[in-house]
Amino acid sequence: MTTLTESVSVERDGDVAFVVIDNPPVNALSFHVRQGLLDGVNQAVGDGAKAVVVICEGRTFIAGADITEFGSPPKGPSLQDVQAVMEDCPIPVIAAIHGTALGGGLEIALCAHYRVAVDSAKFGLPEVKLGLLPGAGGTQRLPRVVGVAKALSMMTSGQPIGAQEAAEYGLVDEVVDTLRSGALSFADRAVSNGWPLSRIRDRNEKLAEGTPELFESFRAGIARKTRGFLAPEYNVQCVEAAVNLSFEDGLARERELFMELMTGPQSAAQRYYFFAERAANKVADVPRDTPKLSIERVGVLGAGTMGGGIAMNFLNAGIPVTIVEREQAALDRGLAVIRKNYERSAKRGSISAADVETRMNLLTPSLDKNDFADVDMVIEAVFEDMDLKKTLFAEFDAICKPNCILASNTSALDINVIASVTSRPQSVIGTHFFSPANVMKLLEVVRGDETSDTVIATTMALAKTINKVAVLVGVCHGFVGNRMLFVRRLEANQMVLEGATPAQVDRVLYDFGFPMGPFAMSDLAGLDIGWKAETSTSSSIRELMCESGRRGQKNGRGYYTYDAETRASTPDPEVETLIREFAQSQGIEQREVSDQEVLERLLYSMINEGAAILQEGIAARGSDIDVVWVNGYGWPVYTGGPMYWADSIGLDKVVEQINHYYQNSGASHWKLAPLLSRLAASGEKLQNAVP
Ligand code: 3HC
Ligand code: NAI
């Protein structure tokens, strides 16, 4: 074995040279990897090897360019230099793939003459998720292998495909049982049979499907999902270049668009966000080696909107769930919703019909809480009522085995009060899922005063197992996300009293990049949640709306009116009159409110609240707040999240406006958070701030 750089070595096995990359954790293409690869292939040829296998140690094949190097001056050979040496190598080069061949990693593999992979390997170009496009020829080579339509979908979604699918599309030449011996056998056959040195760049036959109509319909198909993002469209343009230009000109176009994205604000925000999400999973005062509990069976109490969705997350991960309800009808209803969701996924093709049954078979329905006796974690998802939750946690305490984690899905209540009714407050934690719980990625993990490190570490790790992005938060009303949402809602309501319309407020947020504004969201959720006719006193717009029979989308009348068939919404003049009259009755004079004011009041109020949350230690870092808002509330990731966005505007400007709105309104949520004031004065960033 020859060591070439700190992360690459070459080993010989008969006629075949193995260039071995070992750059933990994900074998990213740091400069020493690029140098080692280049030297390794050259050395193999110089030493008279008859074939080269590029293979990785550790958990994965190369998972991409080293994102930490982005923005620094280039060092060592470029990716393109390495690719040229591989592609033009006079002996067969075979990429042997396990784990994930992503981004630059897949682009390296596309320059090998052949690719072999184990069955569990995955292949993808996820650059779009970083606001980028594959910048090392991936946009020109992938469509030449898998075809234009498949390349477009892989590049604009960033989603990887599995080895079997990759083999069907010609991306993998052989799926092998054991990576090293399978690759060796493949290489030996390539040599003895004199297989050609196949260069993807020379293959053009699959480009023929790239008609203008295909591009047009593809663009229409992704328009809604990719609204506001630059990178998906640029990825499409690169594939168009692959179809319409020569390979070399296509590469030049790819380079040009790549550089534009790389130096632009969206990718900077999305790259920041990539690391923010990973930082969120680390808890400063809980050591990484804290022992974790094994969670092999979960109990869920309540099979309503949230309980059913929560259960699905565990079933999807192969973890059995016992779900308990208070009455048969509610249990049946809950189970039917779960089954219907799975059947819909099967119909769409995202899971198989057999998966539906496998998952349903992992679910044990019951009406008896004693069935929680053997679960490792129980998650309560009943009505938002403190007395009820206290009664139930006292019961859990009596029923559940020692060390069982007792979790509540409360969206705002005090976890410490809930914990206080048990004899084991160290086992109590909040797991705040977002609706629909089987879809939304965010999990706010709420740490009580006495929650143990083990319970925190276990819950954070479990979140990853069930494919959630977890953020650890402290106890306060509404935790991080809802507490900021409450402030935004106050401002939205106040502004419509002052003369903005619900449609204007919603439009401003939609144009900013949110999927919908607060009034459309209220209509969707139902205006009558928590409202009772008997106690309604016409003292808010919402009460007036409910009193006049406006319940939201469900009865076709809310802040908007909804078409019974298409569900299309139109602003309703009756609502505007209702609001105007109520404002008058409150002595509020209506005026024109500018879009800029709407935007600032909705979002700067949240920034101020976010800073207060940070200062109180409810969030552990500024970036955690961004992770909450991007994953839980649809804040557009290409602006990074509220804290990052505030930094990009300039905290001094934000502070000036917050002070202005405080002077105008005197409302307590506009009182400048001291942390924000301090950061603005010192020129530090909110995204990096800690309590
Ligand atoms: N560069 C630098 N560091 C990376 C990295 C990369 N490409 N990918 C992952 N890491 C780091 C993470 O920051 C994390 O570090 P930490 O432990 O200090 O927090 C560590 O590797 C492990 O990452 P995860 O926690 O995400 O581990 P998982 O096992 O859950 O996931 C993964 C592994 C699927 C590889 C995931 O990390 C991932 O999706 N990585 C990004 C892949 C990517 O985007 N590649 C394209 C890069 S851009 C590119 O290649 C440009 C080219 O076209 C020119
Ligand atoms: P839901 O009303 O849809 O479901 C509650 C379920 O609990 C019902 O099926 C009910 O029959 C059952 N239940 C009530 N008392 C019970 C008992 N003693 N034993 C067994 N089952 C019982 O309510 P939803 O929306 O699912 O909310 C549940 C919890 O999740 C609440 O604490 C809520 O604040 C929280 N939450 C709700 C979100 C949402 O968007 N709906 C989002 C995040 C959290």
6 tagged catalytic: no
CA 653/CA 400 separation, integer angstroms:
53
Q: Is the Cβ–Cβ distance between 122 and 161 less than 8 Å?
A: yes
- Which residue has tokens 């298409």? 566
pLDDT tens-digit map of 434-488: 999 999 999 999 999 999 999 999 999 999 999 999 999 999 999 999 999 999 9
- Taking only the tens place, the pLDDT of each residue in 128-181 is 999 999 999 999 999 999 999 999 999 999 999 999 999 999 999 999 999 999
The one-letter amino acid at 122 = K
Helix axis angle, 148-157 to 212-222, nearest 10°: 30
**Which ligand has the minimum distance to the alpha carbon of residue 235?**
1
Q: Is 587 left (phi over 0), alpha (psi -120 to 50) or beta?
A: left
280 CA distance to ligand 1 centroid (A)? 15
**Residue 4's pLDDT is what?**
86
Note the pLDDT tens digit of each residue in 537-574: 999 999 999 999 999 999 999 999 999 999 999 999 99
Give the whole-number percent of the chain exceeding pLDDT 70: 100
List pLDDT tens digits, range 327-374.
999 999 999 999 999 999 999 999 999 999 999 999 999 999 999 999
Does residue 74 have a pLDDT over 90? no
Fill in the amino acid letter for 597. E
- pLDDT, tens digit, 9 for 90 and up, residues 484-537: 999 999 999 999 999 999 999 999 999 999 999 999 999 998 999 889 999 999
Structure tokens at 221: 């198909």
Task: State the number of CA atoms in the 13 A half-sphere of 150 facing the CB.
Answer: 19
CB of 496 closer than 8 Å to CB of 502: yes
Question: pLDDT at position 135, please?
Answer: 97
The helix (run of H) or strand (run of E) holding residue 412 is: none
The tokens describing 348, both together, are 């769409």
Using a 6 Å cutoff on CB, does residue 530 contact ligand 2? no
Using DSSP's 3-state secondary structure scheme, residue 676 falls into helix
DSSP class per residue in 232-268: HHHHHHHHHHHHHS-HHHHHHHHHHHHHHHHTSHHHH
Query: Which residues, listed in sequence order, are joined to residue 328 by a DSSP beta bridge?
Result: none
Ligand 2 nearest atom to the CA of residue 302, by list position? 7
Q: How far is CA 63 from CA 121, 173, 408, in A?
A: 11, 20, 37
- Please work out whether the CB of residue 592 comes within 6 Å of at least one atom of ligand 2: no
The CA distance from 172 to 120, in Å, is 12
Residues 351-389 as b/e (b if ≥16 CB within 10 A, e otherwise) read beeeebeebeebbebeeebebbeebbbbbbbbeeeeeeb
Of ligand 2's atoms, which has the minimum distance to the CA of residue 433?
Answer: 43
Q: Can you spell out the DSSP letters for 130-170?
A: GT---TTTHHHHHHHHH-HHHHHHHHHH---EEHHHHHHTT
d(CA 283, CA 285): 6
Residue 530's pLDDT is 83
How high is the mean pLDDT of the chain? 97
Task: Report whether residue 103 contacts ligand 1, using a CB cutoff of 6 Å.
Answer: yes
Degrees to nearest 5, angle at CA 470 with 464 and 471:
155
Q: Are 450 and 423 in contact (CB under 8 A)?
A: no
Q: How far is the CA of 354 from the centre of ligand 2 (A)?
A: 29
DSSP assignment string, 508-560: HHHHHT-SS-HHHHHHHH-TTTT--GGG--S-SHHHHHHHTT--BGGGTBSSE
46 CA to middle of ligand 1, Å?
A: 33
Work out the burial of residue 72: count CB atoms within 10 Å of its CB; fewer than 13 is exposed, 13-18 middle, 19 or more buried: exposed
Q: Are 611 and 675 in contact (CB under 8 A)?
A: yes
- Give the SS3 label for residue 635: coil
Answer whether 569 contacts ligand 1 (Cβ < 6 A).
no
Question: Catalytic: 168?
Answer: no
> 235-284: per-residue pLDDT in tens?
999 999 999 999 999 999 999 999 999 999 999 999 999 999 999 999 99
User: Which domains, ranges and CATH numbers included, belong to the chain?
Assistant: 2-262 (3.90.226.10), 298-475 (3.40.50.720), 500-585 (1.10.1040.50), 595-682 (1.10.1040.10)
pLDDT band at residue 1, thresholds of 50, 70 and 90?
A: confident
Q: How many CA atoms lie within 13 A of 671 on its CB side?
A: 6
Residue 648 Cβ contacting ligand 2 at under 6 Å: no
Nearest-CA residue for ligand 1 atom 30 is 464
Mean pLDDT across 571-600: 96
Q: Residue 549: what residue type? A: G
Cβ atoms of 160 and 217 closer than 8 Å:
no
Q: Is 63 exposed, middle or buried (0-12, 13-18, 19+ CB in 10 A)?
A: buried
The CA 26 to ligand 1 mean position distance, Å, reads 6
Which residue's CA lies nearest to atom 47 of ligand 1?
64
Distance CA 252, CA 345 (A): 40
Yes or no: say if 611 and 655 are a contact pair by the CB < 8 Å rule.
Answer: no
Residue indicated by tokens 């190369």 = 62
Residue to probe by mutation, ligand 2, list 383, 393, 443, 483, most atoms within 8 Å of CB: 383
Find out whether the beta carbon of 155 lies less than 6 Å from any atom of ligand 1. no
Burial letters for 155-182: b for 16+ Cβ neighbours within 10 Å, e otherwise? bbbbebbbbeebbebbbbbbbbeebeeb
Nearest Cα to 95, choosing from 120, 124, 75, 116? 116
Ligand 2 closest atom vs CA 435: 40
For residue 278, the CA-to-ligand 1 centroid distance in Å is: 9
Residue 49, pLDDT above cutoff 90: yes
In 3D space, the residue among 463, 475, 469, 460 whose CA is nearest the CA of residue 425 turns out to be 475
Say how far apart CA 154 and CA 142 lie, in whole Å: 9
> What single DSSP character describes residue 685?
-
Report the distance separating Cα 116 and Cα 168, nearest Å.
13
CA distances from 672 to 373, 481, 605, 669 (A): 49, 19, 10, 8
Q: What is the dihedral sign for C-alpha 580, 586, 590, 594?
A: negative
Query: What strand order describes the sheet that includes 2-5?
Result: 2-5, 8-13, 16-21, 51-56, 93-97, 114-118, 174-176
Question: What is the rounded distance in angstroms from the CA atom of residue 619 to the CA atom of residue 642?
Answer: 14
Output the six-digit token pair for 122.
Answer: 């995955």
**Tokens encoding 199:** 């260069």
Residue 301 in contact with ligand 2 by CB distance below 6 A: yes
Extract the tokens encoding 483.
């507490």
Tokens standing for residue 327: 């009455």
Cα(385) to ligand 2 centroid in Å equals 9
Q: Ligand 2: which atom is nearest the Cα of residue 308?
A: 26
Checking if the pLDDT of 2 tops 90, the result is no
Which pLDDT score, from 0 to 100, does residue 20 have? 98
Q: Look at residue 13 and tell me whether its pLDDT is greater than 90.
A: yes
Residue 218's pLDDT band, with cuts at 50, 70 and 90, is: very high
Q: Minimal CA–CA distance to 140: which of 83, 214, 94, 69?
A: 83
Q: Which of 439, 406, 414 is nearest to 305 (CA)?
A: 439
Average pLDDT value for residue range 282-298 = 96
The alpha carbon of 162 is separated from its chain's Cα centroid by a whole number of angstroms, namely 20
Q: How far apart are the first and last CA of the chain?
A: 50
* Average pLDDT for 641-648: 98
- Whether the CB-CB separation of 129 and 636 falls below 8 Å is answered with no
Token pair, residue 34, equals 């690029």
For ligand 2, say whether the CB of 303 is within 6 Å of any of its atoms.
Answer: yes
pTM given for the model: 0.95
Q: What is the pLDDT of residue 603?
A: 98
Place of tokens 């405080």: 662
Q: Which atom of ligand 1 is nearest to the CA of 67?
A: 1
